[in-house]
Amino acid sequence: QVQLQESGPGLVKPSQTLSLTCTVSGGSIYSGSYYWNWIRQPAGKGLEWIGRLYTSGSTIYNPSLESRLTISVDTSKNQFSLKLKSVTAADTAMYYCARASWNDGWVFDYWGQGTLVTVSS
């Protein structure tokens, strides 16, 4: 059973960089045809796809965030990470990591429990 777990600071100051890590267990991040994703959700609002990493290391980002965003992989730790720079209060949200599987039409079949990030001074 694949499990994902987000980790990182819960509070980030405006203009600084938000950094989160997703640790994958129960399977290798390099096994199979999967995309590894970040998704966020402001309190009481909808879901916003942030970006994705393929096992080759290639990335695609949400155009609205692309200029501030980096998603990368750490092969030795079976983890992938998110860095979002120059944050503002609008970046306050629950951040989820999730796996997308091609088997069922690139749906998000496994999710982390989420980590709340607040941008505030």
Partner 1 sequence: EIVLTQSPGTLSLSPGERATLSCRASQSVSSTYLAWYQQKPGQAPRLLIYGASSRATGIPDRFSGSGSGTDFTLTIGRLEPEDFAVYFCQQYDRSSTWTFGQGTKVEIK
Residues found near partner 1 in the complex (CB under 8 A): 37, 45-49, 52, 60, 62-63, 96, 98, 100, 104-109, 111-114
The residues facing 53 across adjacent strands are 36, 59
Q: Which of residues 15 and 113 has its CB atom nearest to partner 1 in the complex?
A: 113
Judge whether 4 and 22 are in contact, CB under 8 Å.
yes
CB of 64 to partner 1, least distance (A): 9
Q: Least separation, in Å, of the C-beta of 88 and partner 1?
A: 22
Question: Which CB, 11 or 116, lies closer to partner 1?
Answer: 116
Closest Cα to residue 71, out of 56, 55, 86, 60? 60
Q: Decide whether 5 or 16 has the Cβ nearer to partner 1.
A: 5
Six-digit token string for 38: 């970040």
Question: 80 φ, ψ to 5°?
Answer: -135, 155
CA distance 75 to 82: 15
Q: How far is the CB of 60 from partner 1 (least distance, A)?
A: 5
